[in-house]
Chains A and B, each alone.
Chain A
């Protein structure tokens, strides 16, 4: 047996994320005691109509969210308890809504910082209706082996260590949430554990007090003794003492009160809980409370540390008198399934990775590129080309190589609005398309005819150099097997109207006195092809390709240099159009050669 919360308790949780977290803890307990989840619904207007997924064992239970308590209890008529996790400014309304529902008999409020006036109103309202309002600031209620309301009891391991999977003989009532777990733990170590533990909250005027629950425990035959943990302030402990001393009680009462340190501290100093403040004239002091409990016949250990032995003594007496029997622990208990991460940490599973990476790692406090922390690269003077070298070729390139790459990027960042890429981006921008999609529209244009010849140019120049081909052999091979030489030829530029970008890049690379076999070969090819036709010059794609192959970059990465640098221009074009608030554009009829058949009659459908 237990009080307040039992196997028939069905719960609605009022609140958002905090409520979901509590439901998860409650599900862990239900799983431990092999009972179905006791949370049937949530009430949280912003999420009404959705469900909250609550892990139970290795599965997930979808718990519906409603806008009102009335809806929740209409769909789940077994609900008899509400837990309130609503913010302090709306807590009273939520609490009243729950109390006023005929299905609900127990409302426990977890919210902290509820105005005193609101808490008193809620308590009075519940008493008028003959219901129980527990809290505010309550950590929850737990009945061993039967029902958990809220996060009281803590983590799964603690539930097991504190033997909460089966009944003991001790009731617990505390103001403090943290100490409730401590007392449950002590009861399981020094005695046979608890029946029910209740956090009443540390506010000055909680809805229900020690006496409410002492009455209930007195009528619960399984509970043989009750531990109360009090603190200075208010008169709840004095009331408990008064109740206990009023007549012969079946249950034994063990109590501790905190706040003796007040006697040597500045007067009126406020400690911990809202209710922990000394009265105006010495009333509510730890000493007066302890003495009141002692006078009423309760066992009052002198310090918190002496509580365990005191509980043990009571338990031994109960054993001796035959009121309780030695507990037989169950042979086995359900284990909470581990998450994949936990199981991996414990070397219990092997997981086949889904992807593999060899270039970067973001698991520390900052990303590492090929093992080098980004901030360290910055602090040691490395620049963007070095990051490209690390991520594209997994090597730390030299200063000289970085300078070449920087120039390549600068030279091909943009080529005006008319080329396919920029035009596509502008067209998209004018249609009101967002940045990433409009830039992607421009990037899609990069291919064999626009900007996408770098990789192929590099591949074939490299092929020729690797196979020690002469220019003539190469051109013959290309004509027979491939077609026009990628990297050679320009739409508008020619020998007489050279591409200044090419001249610039070639001149710089040649000035460095480094070995450039591919570039040299490409220039020789140009001499032959340009002699045949004026515009068959080495274009910017071909030049970049030859230089990058000479630097050792993998052939497959070469188009990346154009894509990367041109992205700078494409972003610029999109921002430019956006800034101008450009309007939707369309082609003019006169720019189209309408070569479609003339208008004609549609034949009947056969």
Chain B
């Protein structure tokens, strides 16, 4: 064996060894049954998790969510002295922003210019000129997205998901990937709930009755006043246009509370959006909120109907979730709630002092626990509470209590977030994709091997050998790169098989041609390879360009495909040009072959 051959053999064996070694943890981990996996220590498990090829969400099941910070809402929250002009501006901003792909603050500036809106009037705290205000507001928005990411990170950590991915996308989005989630609905709620906890005192019956009377009179004046814009009336009375219409007619009294039918919630919302109604509520420093859960009641025609409780509250929250130090789910031990899941909340020292003051000053009043602007419960304060402890009861399930505890601990989002994009894959579909992908790969590989062996005989076997190693090495590279294998990635693997065969075919055809031209086996192999390499490199590099572009632009699954394609090209060039060449050289130097089986 001459030294060139020996060196090449050693290099190839080294690379093969490296590839196999890289792939080993993946194979061992995949072969393990559930019992052995659960017996692994956490260090061992970490080792396998990090060294194995990861499966993408589309294979493992899970959710991929892009949350978008509600920037118009943030602007709305930051603005002061809002009036009709501002509301119109905001509406226009929302529509314009949601229908274009332009940056938010560019749209903001354009519309402010178009509508001649005097920004300092609403944002005087943020600057005196338009430019100052816009700069300051965009800083505010950056700050809030930072906080959103932090809080979501907290929530996900406490929820306990293996390897969550949370990353910022663009200026106002957060990508959250949770693999292996079984209940997407729960995870989504956990991410999305603003979790703004407010403790608000419930107003007494007299002032509630008085406010409802005042609202009624506003509504009836709408009826008489012909000058009011037509569409405003239509909007207000949507379906039930009748002259006796009033807020009080929508309400019923249930056990000392007011309740409203679920069908009328929309109408209520419209009423509360009327300027005059807003003014009255503002003047009395109060707000009307509904309960988060509903109750089923029999209405006057004997049908079951869904009702929500309506609360009239002091608008300023006495305390907010910011004072919470800890919140834990616990099963209630005694009393009527025994055995039910409750959330125990502990406040910091400042909160405890405040809480003692509030409870002391409001004995026999009711205090509403408001979560995300919905009243969760409104118990009567029986006595002053010291020590900052409080208990939230009335939760439907242990999961709900756990989730509320998590969001209270992790803190409230500074701005609401909306789901801009979501891809949830159920575990069953993922498993189905894996088994079908693997099956197709096995069949495809088998067909290809049969085909090329029939075509190129012994040389075909060498090609099959190289194709097989292409796959092994490619998977090894993926394991080393800690890349994620997605369903398109499996397609990429299969495609790599095709490309790997192609490189061999180009070489073999060249060699055949050289043989037909009367060259000796040795010479034909040498010049065949030499001429083929150039073609193979050119052809593969262009595919490589496509893969690189795909990687740049793609997200998630597509990126997985691009990674596989890109490395597939490199590995298949290695096996076709270096490995098979070596085999040919080795065989022709050790034996004197006069006729090539090709």
Q: Do A and B come from one complex?
A: no
